[in-house]
Amino acid sequence: MEPSELAPPKAANLLHRASGLFHQAHGGNRFPVDIDVMAKGAAELFGWKDPITTIEPVNLPNFEGMLATNDSKSKWMIAYNESLLSPGRIRFTKAHELGHYMLHREKQSEFRCSKEDMFTWEGGKNIEAEADKFASHLLMPLDDFRSQMNGDINFDSLGYCADRYGVSLTATILKWLSYTDEKAVLVVSKDGFMDWASSSNAAKKSGAYFKTKNNVIEIPEKALALQDNIKEERLGTKTAAKIWFPHADSDADLKELKIFSEQYDCTLSLLILPKHIDCWENSRY
């Protein structure tokens, strides 16, 4: 079966297994994954005649990454925005474009991907979500990720994983949210307003989520996220759940973690809620 017919995680596993064999044969560490070697070697691994031959930084206003072919469709190039400063984001962008190459290149000859496209991890048939899922599984295979994250969840353990896989802290948190049974919400904010947010499935089911798309949502006044004198709280501190979720039980506390990114001028807040909390407006209990 061709990788383009597989679900994104399976296509990523296929490439990962093939590269794992390569590493076994040639030595070297399994992580972080060498995206350039994988991207340029994928065609040979699968016997394709249109390899990725070029991976380079370019000036792409409003885009983070691009995958494009030549007129005769005999080769492809991956380009990433040269103003992307963090190596983790560059690696994720390359892996996302490799995902389009593996899964979608028969449908289009060019893919231009925005910052929003890099954080659209959900949505079944959307090709951007598929490329993100592919990138996430390629860079952070689930079995290995789970075994690394089986202790306390905080910005130290998540940061350790970000280093292990060579990805951003944001991508690491999204990975954890994608499978955890915990009720947890990531909020990315700027100047007191939510830029975007993402919830684990369990959190969504209990009403703990924010609809940030086409919506202006202020960070709650008493939230740690707004306390300018505290730049970070890596291990988390107790906050009344009601501060963030007005319909939550009045006596419930959540764990709020905070980190401020000077580089991107934004605050990451990770909210970890108690297992039995209910945040719906009209509680069913």
Q: Give me the least distance between CB of 67 and Zn ion, in Å please.
A: 8
Q: Indicate the DSSP class of residue 216.
A: -
Q: Give me the least distance between CB of 117 and Zn ion, in Å please.
A: 5
Is position 241 an interface residue for Zn ion (rule: CB under 5 A)? no
Residue nearest to Zn ion (CB): 113
> What is the gyration radius of the CA atoms in the chain, in angstroms?
20
Is position 233 an interface residue for Zn ion (rule: CB under 5 A)? no
Q: Which is nearer to Zn ion, 88 or 236 (CB)?
A: 88
Kind of pairing between the strands at 76-81 and 65-69: antiparallel
Is 271 in a helix, a strand, or coil?
strand
Is 278 in a helix, a strand, or coil?
coil
Is position 79 an interface residue for Zn ion (rule: CB under 5 A)? no
Are 79 and 58 in contact by the 8 Å Cβ rule? The answer is yes
Q: Rounded to the nearest 5 degrees, what angle is found at the Cα of 213, between the Cα atoms of 209 and 215?
A: 90
Is 90 in a helix, a strand, or coil?
helix
Q: Which is nearer to Zn ion, 167 or 273 (CB)?
A: 167
Is position 131 an interface residue for Zn ion (rule: CB under 5 A)? yes
Q: Give me the least distance between CB of 64 and Zn ion, in Å please.
A: 8
Binding Zn ion by CB under 5 A: which of 11, 15, 90, 113? 113
Q: Which is nearer to Zn ion, 171 or 225 (CB)?
A: 171
Measure Cα distances from 171 to 148, 176, 203, 257 in Å.
15, 9, 18, 16
Are 281 and 194 in contact by the 8 Å Cβ rule? The answer is no
Residue with tokens 């401020």: 260
Q: Which stretch in 18-26, 120-128, 175-183, 234-242 sits in contact with Zn ion by CB under 5 A? A: 120-128
Q: Rounded to the nearest 5 degrees, what angle is found at the Cα of 160, between the Cα atoms of 154 and 161?
A: 95
Is position 117 an interface residue for Zn ion (rule: CB under 5 A)? yes
CB 125: neighbour CB atoms within 10 A?
6
Phi-psi region of 192 (alpha: psi -120 to 50; beta: other; left: phi over 0): left
Q: Which stretch in 44-52, 82-90, 124-132, 167-175 sits in contact with Zn ion by CB under 5 A? A: 124-132
Q: Which is nearer to Zn ion, 128 or 256 (CB)?
A: 128
Q: Give me the least distance between CB of 276 and Zn ion, in Å please.
A: 38
Is position 95 an interface residue for Zn ion (rule: CB under 5 A)? no
Residue 193 CA neighbour count, 13 Å, CB half: 8
Q: Which stretch in 4-12, 47-55, 56-64, 122-130 sits in contact with Zn ion by CB under 5 A? A: 122-130
Q: Give me the least distance between CB of 205 and Zn ion, in Å please.
A: 28
AA letter at 235 = L
Q: Which is nearer to Zn ion, 10 or 104 (CB)?
A: 104
Q: Which residues 175-204 are close enough to bind Zn ion by CB under 5 A?
A: none
Q: Which is nearer to Zn ion, 126 or 227 (CB)?
A: 126
Q: Which is nearer to Zn ion, 2 or 110 (CB)?
A: 110
Judged by the rule CB under 5 A, the positions of this chain that interact with Zn ion are 113, 117, 128, 131
